[in-house]
Structure formats: structure tokens, C-alpha cells
Amino acid sequence: MTTPTHKPLVFSGMQPNGNLHLGNYLGALKNWVKMQQDMNCIYCVVDMHALTTWVDPKELTQSIREVTAAYIAAGVDPAKTILFNQSQVHEHAELAWIFNCVARMGWLNRMTQFKEKAGKNRENSSVGLFVYPDLMAADILAYKATHVPVGEDQKQHLELARDIAQKFNNDYNVPDYFPLPDPVITGPATRVMSLRDGSKKMSKSDESDYSRINLTDDADAIVQKIRKARTDPNPLPDSEKGFEGRPEAENLINIYAALADGTREQAIARFAGRQFSGFKNELAELTVSKISPITSEMRRLLGDPAEIDRILKAGAHKARAICAPIVAEVKRMTGLVG
């Protein structure tokens, strides 16, 4: 656990590599907005992470703005919270290099996300994809952040960040210098699954657009995708136990619960014994009512890209004011600077 010597500070980020989807929103972004109310928060568009797999330069620039617009449209308030893109603050890259030298090959070899992303093509993956979790640890620890709101899939990366922090503190004999950041994985939808296959995570990289709801989808698309979502022939169960072997039903109930700001139990009780058709109508209506305002606000914000760039620049300035002294201290601790 984080020691009380560290002031609570929230840090999180998303990659600008295509459209954000409902999984990003329910697993992370929605919680970010809540945490902003009573904690200091730093939210980052992790553009250097996006380079770990090929991305067209023009698309990357656009995607950085789109993700920024999505954060703001969902409720991240740049007046209260620091909002910036990673590559504007070079301390992240500097600290990541130091962490490349702290982390062990064996630790990174265990990362399941690398294995999934590299697949059979491991030898041909970028080195950046392999050391990606070191950069993520640097993002967090450059600020000595203590809380990291993420979806379930980032849990292992957070454990690695804790291992890096602990090893750095031990190697350089600076007990408690870096906090051991806690993952904050909360809500009924910490792992939103594909609408086409309840055993697969909802993901930007899925070939089928029907597998996910994008934050840029219009109301018609949302309704269509939910209507076509895979289900099974039975009515919805009336208890937790009834979801065994029914991942698609469980996923849709979790999505409903998260969007309704309720619990899983409440959602189960509400739809117990009902047919999917009626449930899907209500789910579609709820999804449209929650997502469409975000989509239209995103569109409005994207009409003024200069304003988005200005927000990111101002955020980067504030971010540097916090992390530059920390990274300078790390450089002294490691002997890079006398």
C-alpha cells in the first residue's frame, strides 16, 4: 500500500490510437471524472505509447485531439485537472529510460498484454511495445502519483509499476522515495466485453465495428449494435449464479448497471426473467442518452482544434512544474547529475 508520506494524487492515461469506445468510458474515463471531485488529478493522452504499433502520422495528430476532446466532453475539467499529451513533457521519456534499466527482462516477459499484442509476430514487434509498461510506470511515478484509475486489463502493468518503484527505492537506498501506486479498478464494468463475443475484451483493434460502441457512434449506430449484440435464447437470470456460462448476458447487464450509475445487483433485479428483446431496447435507450451528449460535445470541441492544442499546451506546462523537479532529483540519485 502507498505510505502516508505520499500525498494522494491521481494519474491515468489513454492511447490515442483510434476511437475511444464504451470500454474505455466505463472502465476508466467515467471514474476519472468522479475522482476529480475530491482529488488532485492528472490525465494524460499517452501519445508516445501509440507509436509502439504503426500509426499514420496525420491520424496520430488527429487522434490526440479526439481523445482530448473525449476527455473534456465526458467531464474532465481542464480548469481543475491537469490535462496534457505525454510527448510534450520530455521527463516521461527520460524517466522511462532509467526504468528500462531498473526493470528486468523476466518481468516484461510475463506481461500478457505484450503476448496478446505481439502474437505470433513477436520477433517483428517494436522494442517499444515490449518496454511499454516501463514508460507507463514513468508516466505515473514522474509525479509520484498514488492512485491510478484503470480498467481490469491494466492491473498487471500496475503491478509492474509497483515492482519498479520498489526496486528503484531499494537499489538507490531511498526508502519510500517512490510511492507504490494503487490501481483503482471500480464499478460494475471494469472489463467490458465485445458485443460479438463475450469471451473477448471490447477493443479498438477488433476487426468488427459491431463488437464495440465507439464514443463517435451516432444514436442509430448504437441502437443497431445493441440490437445485433450476441445473446443466448434464455431469459435473463434472477441471480449472480444464473450468469454462469452466459458471458454475453453478464456483459450487457454490467454495461447497463454502469451506465445507470447503479449496482450489478440492482440491474439483475430489474431485468430478472425478462427477454433480451425488451432488455436491449432499454439498454439502447440508456446508452444513447448517456453517450450521445458526449459525442455531440466532442464534435463541437473538435471544431476548434487550436483551442484543444492550447489546453494541452497549458496542461503540459503545469505537468512539467510537478515532474521536472522529481526527475531532476532522480538524475541526482542515479549519479547522472552531480
- Complex with ligand TYM: residue 307 or 320, whichever CB lies closer: 320
The count of residues interacting with ligand TYM (CB under 6 A) is 25
Using rule CB under 6 A, residue 179 touches ligand TYM: no
- Complex with ligand TYM: residue 63 or 231, whichever CB lies closer: 63
Between the CA atoms of 20, 181, 126 and 98, what dihedral angle is there, to the nearest 10 degrees? 140
Binding piece for ligand TYM, criterion CB under 6 A, among 51-59, 70-78, 134-142, 276-284: 134-142
Question: Which residues neighbour 195 within 8 Å (Cβ) at sequence distance 6 or greater?
Answer: 202, 210, 211, 212, 213, 225, 226, 228, 229, 230, 251
- Complex with ligand TYM: residue 13 or 315, whichever CB lies closer: 13
Q: Which of 149, 168, 160, 179 is nearest to 95 (CA)?
A: 168
Residue 65 and residue 84 in contact, taking contact as beta carbons nearer than 8 Å: no
Give strand pairing partners of 149: 184
Using rule CB under 6 A, residue 322 touches ligand TYM: no
Instruction: Give catalytic residues, as residue numbers.
Output: 117, 201, 204
CB 256 to ligand TYM: min, Å: 15
Task: Out of 202, 255, 268, 319, point to the residue binding ligand TYM (CB under 6 A).
Answer: 202
Task: Out of 201, 225, 264, 290, point to the residue binding ligand TYM (CB under 6 A).
Answer: 201
- Complex with ligand TYM: residue 209 or 307, whichever CB lies closer: 209
Binding piece for ligand TYM, criterion CB under 6 A, among 11-19, 227-235, 246-254, 308-316: 11-19
52: left (phi over 0), alpha (psi -120 to 50) or beta: alpha
Joined grid coordinates for residue 234: 434464455
Residue recorded with cell 516484461 = 108
The whole-angstrom separation of Cα 130 and Cα 145 is 23
Using rule CB under 6 A, residue 177 touches ligand TYM: no
Tally of residues, the chain: 338
Using rule CB under 6 A, residue 136 touches ligand TYM: yes
Task: Out of 33, 45, 49, 251, point to the residue binding ligand TYM (CB under 6 A).
Answer: 49
- Complex with ligand TYM: residue 181 or 237, whichever CB lies closer: 181
Using rule CB under 6 A, residue 192 touches ligand TYM: yes
Task: Out of 85, 87, 154, 251, point to the residue binding ligand TYM (CB under 6 A).
Answer: 154
Query: Residue numbers of the site for ligand TYM (CB under 6 A)?
Result: 11-15, 23-24, 27-28, 46, 49, 136, 139-140, 148, 150-151, 153-154, 157, 190-192, 201-202
